[in-house]
């Protein structure tokens, strides 16, 4: 699987801390909505749509134990694995994130026509 990385934050333009700690926001890459979250261990990217009722996770909050909380029904998903709480039995897709010297990048799988 080939991954293409997209620059989300440029530290030279956006500063060294462009997103608040424990915050989430929605970004759009190649017409795909992704929730970008920041916690002490770094940045994480997951699907922006909560599988329970379709709410935007980018409008949610992050917890100290690195979960994103859906703003509607309070469903929670682990930012590292995408797994919901055991009683939920669902998950969100995760995407690779790299923090490089010049910024933050999110990776998406390349389509066959992008090679």
Contacts of 111 (CB under 8 A, 6+ apart): none
Strands across the sheet containing 103-109: 3-10, 103-109, 97-100
First-to-final CA distance of the chain: 11
Domain covering 3-109 in this structure, CATH number: 2.102.10.10
Q: Does residue 1 have a pLDDT over 80?
A: no
- With CA atoms as reference, report the closest residue to 36 among 105, 109, 111, 110: 105
What does the alpha-carbon distance between residue 57 and residue 78 come to, in Å, rounded to a whole number? 12
The three-point CA angle 67-72-77 to 5° equals: 20
Length of the chain, please?
Answer: 115
Q: How many CB atoms are closer than 10 A to CB 32? A: 11
What does the alpha-carbon distance between residue 35 and residue 47 come to, in Å, rounded to a whole number? 6
Whole-model pTM: value is: 0.92
At 22-54, the pLDDT tens digits run 999 999 998 999 999 999 999 999 999 999 888
What does the alpha-carbon distance between residue 2 and residue 94 come to, in Å, rounded to a whole number? 15
What's residue 53's pLDDT?
A: 86
């Amino acid at each position: 699987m080939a991954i293409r990385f997209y620059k989300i934050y440029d530290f030279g333009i956006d500063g060294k801390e462009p997103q608040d700690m424990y915050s989430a926001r929605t970004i759009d890459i190649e017409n795909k909505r992704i929730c970008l979250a920041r916690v002490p261990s770094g940045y994480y990217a997951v699907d922006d749509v909560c599988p329970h009722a379709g709410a935007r996770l980018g409008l949610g909050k992050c917890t100290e134990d690195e979960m994103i909380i859906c703003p509607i029904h309070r469903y929670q998903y682990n930012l590292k694995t995408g797994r919901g709480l055991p009683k939920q039995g669902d998950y969100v897709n995760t995407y690779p994130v790299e923090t490089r010297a010049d910024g933050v990048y999110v990776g998406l799988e390349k389509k066959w026509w992008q090679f």
